[in-house]
Amino acid sequence: MKAAVVDEWGAVPRYTDFPDPDPRNGDVVATVEAAALTNLTRGIVSGTHYASKDLQLPAVPGFDGVARLDDGRRVYTSAVARYGTMADRTLVNPNAVVEVPEGVDSVTAAAVPNPGISAWTSLEYAAAVKPGDHVLVLGATGVTGSVAVQLAKSEFGAGRVVAVGRDVARLQWLRTVGADATITLGDDDFTATLGAMHAEKPFDAVLDYLWGKPAETVLETLGSSQAEAYHLTRYIEIGSMAGTNITLPSSLLRATAIQLSGVGLGNMPPDVMARVRAEALPRLFDMAAAGKLQLRTATRPLAEVEQAWTAGEKSGTRLVLVP
């Protein structure tokens, strides 16, 4: 079969021949219809992601996608061992799939789960967002950040959602799908605006998709803001688009009620992941079908995987490869 193939860590996948999947342990072969090119997939292939240790090379990348079973059903599936979704065919665990409803096309169905499940677990499990909470999304103009803004308002009932990012046009659009306020990252009055918001009504949760310098600025601003004497703010680190490290004064964590933690594949209890996947993903598909969840996509043929991989992703747009 034809597939995107990675022979060494950090290499750009090549479109070439690869052995057909060999089903074992109850897995079945399915025909791929769409595979999302996500930051998670890029990270695993780089060899530096904590999930890279579970992948044996050579392998087909693609952590998630949509495939059609022999009985005609379309299902969302995650990669099984070295057979990812960026191929003509892949392996599917029939007990770990979610059926895709007719109202959702395969490209959208491939694009929704990664940001949708990430945002859902961050809001529900890590940040424990409740109706009326004040939520800040740092890096809101990206794919997952924009989904988090929408879900925080529509599904978790956040009282106020503040979106932070650099793309002014995307920030304006976010006001139409759930953001109550926006702040442009890098503006001269950024810290003053953020500090005033926190002082007026402290943030209950911060979802951070950037880390790096923006995280340092936000943490310092929240820590020095003249908010009420005690208010728990759950600061959830999810992505590191702006850097993998920060400098954090120990006094900030002792002098404030900021609770710092992360969310990802490595620190989510399996039962939580299984529950969110089973309960939230059908809801996300229904929202997409009804137009209540907005996610911009772009498609390219799988044969152009090398060009797609090196070109990068346009702000707020999920690239999906189709065989």
- Span 273-290, pLDDT tens digits: 888 888 999 999 999 999
pLDDT at residue 57 greater than cutoff 90: no
Q: Look up the domain containing 170 and give its range.
A: 115-262
Q: What is the reported pTM?
A: 0.92
Mean pLDDT computed over 144-153:
98
pLDDT at residue 148 greater than cutoff 80: yes
CA neighbor of 21 nearest in space, from 8, 31, 36: 31
* Cα(111)–Cα(143) distance, integer angstroms: 10
- Going through 139-239 in order, the beta strands assigned E by DSSP cover 160-165, 181-184, 205-208, 233-237
Mean pLDDT computed over 227-251:
89
Residues 121, 254, single domain; the answer is yes
Residues 137, 241, single domain; the answer is yes
Cα–Cα distances (Å) from 111 to 2, 60, 76, 305, 320, in that order, read 22, 18, 10, 16, 7
300 SS3 class: strand
Domain stops at, among 262, 277, 307: 262
Residues 137, 23, single domain; the answer is no
Residue 224, pLDDT score = 87
Tell whether 286 is covered by a domain.
no
The pLDDT-based confidence of 156 (bands split at 50, 70, 90) is: very high
Tell whether 281 is covered by a domain.
no
In whole angstroms, what separates CA 44 from the centre of its chain?
A: 14
Mean pLDDT computed over 299-316:
90
Residue 51, pLDDT score = 66
Instruction: Report the greatest alpha carbon distance in the chain.
Output: 63
Mean pLDDT computed over 289-306:
96
Mean pLDDT computed over 152-175:
97
